[in-house]
Structure 1
Amino acid sequence: MGNIVRKSGSPKKAWMPETQLEVKMVEAMKQRASAGSATKSFNSIILKFPKIDESLRNCKVIFEQFDEDSNGAIDHDELKKCFHKLEISFTEKEINDLFEACDINEDMGMKFNEFIVLLCLVYLLKDDPTALLAKSRMGMPDLEATFETLVDAFVFLDRNKDGYVSKSEMVEAINETTSGERSSGQIAMKRFEEMDWDKNGMVNFKEFLFAFTRWVGIDDMEDEEGEEV
C-alpha cells in the first residue's frame, strides 16, 4: 500500500511508525485514547453506518467544488487550493504527505473516498481554532460529529491505546458483541483483513478509514456513477 514498508518481528512488540504523517496520526490517536471511548460495542458502530454514510456522501459537494476540471479526482494543485480556500494552515510538506498517503492508487489524483479519508485525517491532526473555523465554512455541521464518531470507534478498537489496532484487539472487540457465537472469530478476522491493506498485522487510523468507506458503501457509489457516464 503506497510506500509502506513491511517490518519483521511480532506485532506484539512496539510498532514503529514508518512515515512522519503516521507518527503524527499515532500520537494524535494516543492523546484521544487517554480520554476513553464512548463506543460500547462493535455493533453500536455498525448501527451508525446509515447515518455516517449519509454524512460522508454529503461531502460530495465539497469534493466537486475543488475538483475544478471535473475529472472525478482532486490533483495536487487542486488540493493546495482546497486547503487555501478553507484556510487550513498545513505546510507544503504536510500537504504533500497527506496527498501521497491518501492517493492509494498512486494515480496522482484523489478519488472521492480518498478525499473523505484526507478530510478525516485533517480533523484528527489539526484540532485547533483555525481548523474548527474551516469546518464551519464547509457548511456541514454534521461532518465534525461524523469524524468524531470515526475517531471514537478506532479508540474503542485500540485496546492497548498504542495508536494501532491488532488482530487480537479486533477479535476481542467482536467477541464482546457476539459472545458465544461460533462465527464471531471469523467475523473479526474478515473485518481485520479488510482493514489491514499492507498485511503487516497492524492497522493504523488511515487504513481503518479506507475500510470504513467500503463498509458503508462509498466505493459502491463511485462505481454506480462510473456506470452512468
Structure 2
Amino acid sequence: MGGAVGKSGSPRKVSIPETKLEAKMVEAMQQRASEGSAMKSFNSIILKFPKIDESLRNCKAIFEQFDEDANGAIDHEELQKSFHKLEITFTEEEINDLFEACDINAYMGMQFNEFIVLLCLVYLLKDDPTALRTKSRMGMPKLEATFETLVDAFVFLDKNKDGYVSKSEMVQAINETTSGERSSGRIAMKRFEEMDWDKNGMVNFKEFLFAFTRWVGIDEMEDEEDE
C-alpha cells in the first residue's frame, strides 16, 4: 500500500502544510512515528484521560505566572517574555507563527487551553536547534511525561506515519478497540469531526491537541471561571 493510497485502494487526500511551523510539526511527528507507539488501542488513550487532565490543569500556575496583567489571556508581549524566562530561543517569526497557530479564536490573547497546546508544540519541537527542553525550566517533569503521552497517542492514530490522521485511520483505530461493534463507525466519525476543525479531511497534531483539551474538559474549566 503506497503512502498516498487509502485502505480501499483509492487515492487519499494529501494535505500541504500551510506554514513553516506546521511543516516542522509534521516533520517532527513523522520522525516520532518512525519510532513506533506504545499505545495498543484507543481505549488505552482514554484510560489515560484522568492523569493527563490533572497534569494539564497543573499548568495553570505557569499560565498565571506569564499572564502578568492577570486578565486571563497571554498577549504577544507576555508570550515573548515567557519564552525568554524559559530560555527558549525562537526567532520573532517563529514566535509569531506559534502565537497565530494557537490563538485560534482570535481573542485578544491566548486562553489557557491554547497555551497548553503551545507548550506541547514547543515540547514536540524541542530537538529542533531553535528549541530547548522545557522540563527543567518549568520545574514540572510530569508535564513532559504528559506531552510524551499525547505525542504517543497521535502516533498510534497516524497509521501510515505521514504526520496527519485521516478519517480512515481514525476508523481503523476505533475498530481495533471495539472489535467491529456496530457503533464503532459512528464513534470514529464523531471523534474525527471533533478534531478536524478546518474540515480539510486531515488532522495535524495541533488540531488533535485542541480536541484533546475539549475531551478532558479544559474548555469547561475556562467557562466555569468566566462565570
TM-score by length of 2: 0.93
Match of 1:20 in 2: 20
Match of 2:213 in 1: 213
Distance 2:122 2:160 in 1: 24
User: Offset at 1:37?
Assistant: 0.5
User: Offset at 1:14?
Assistant: 3.3
Match of 1:4 in 2: none
Distance 2:63 2:11 in 1: 37
Residue type of the partner of 1:88? I
Residue type of the partner of 1:131? L
Match of 1:53 in 2: 53
Distance 1:97 1:104 in 2: 12
Distance 2:180 2:124 in 1: 35
Please say if 1:131 is aligned against 2:137. Answer: no
Contact kept in structure 1, 2:102 and 2:110, CA below 8 Å: yes
After superposition, residues 38-187 of structure 1 pair within 5 angstroms as 38-127=38-127, 131-132=132-133, 134-187=134-187
Runs of 4+ aligned residues of structure 1 deviating over 4 Å after TM superposition are none
User: Offset at 1:18?
Assistant: 1.2
User: Offset at 1:15?
Assistant: 2.4
Contact kept in structure 1, 2:13 and 2:201, CA below 8 Å: no
Contact kept in structure 1, 2:195 and 2:211, CA below 8 Å: yes
Q: Which range moves more in the overlay, 10-19 or 143-152?
A: 10-19
User: Could you give the per-residue CA deviations for residues 68-106 of structure 1, whole angstroms, max 9, x where no partner exists?
Assistant: 000000000000000000000111110000000000011
CA gap of 1:200–1:14, structure 2 versus 1, over 3 A, is closer
User: Could you give the per-residue CA deviations for residues 100-122 of structure 1, whole angstroms, max 9, x where no partner exists?
Assistant: 00000112300000000000000
Match of 1:222 in 2: 222
User: Offset at 1:11?
Assistant: 7.2
Contact kept in structure 1, 2:126 and 2:132, CA below 8 Å: yes
Distance 1:81 1:108 in 2: 17
Distance 2:219 2:183 in 1: 26
Contact kept in structure 2, 1:11 and 1:166, CA below 8 Å: no
Q: Give the CA RMSD over aligned residues.
A: 1.4
Contact kept in structure 1, 2:66 and 2:74, CA below 8 Å: yes
TM-score by length of 1: 0.92
Fraction of identical pairs, as percent = 87
Q: Which range moves more in the overlay, 87-96 or 14-23?
A: 14-23
Contact kept in structure 2, 1:195 and 1:203, CA below 8 Å: yes
Distance 1:125 1:136 in 2: 16
User: Could you give the per-residue CA deviations for residues 12-68 of structure 1, whole angstroms, max 9, x where no partner exists?
Assistant: 143211111110000000000110001100000000000000000000000000000
Structure 1 residues without counterparts, runs of 5 or longer: 1-9
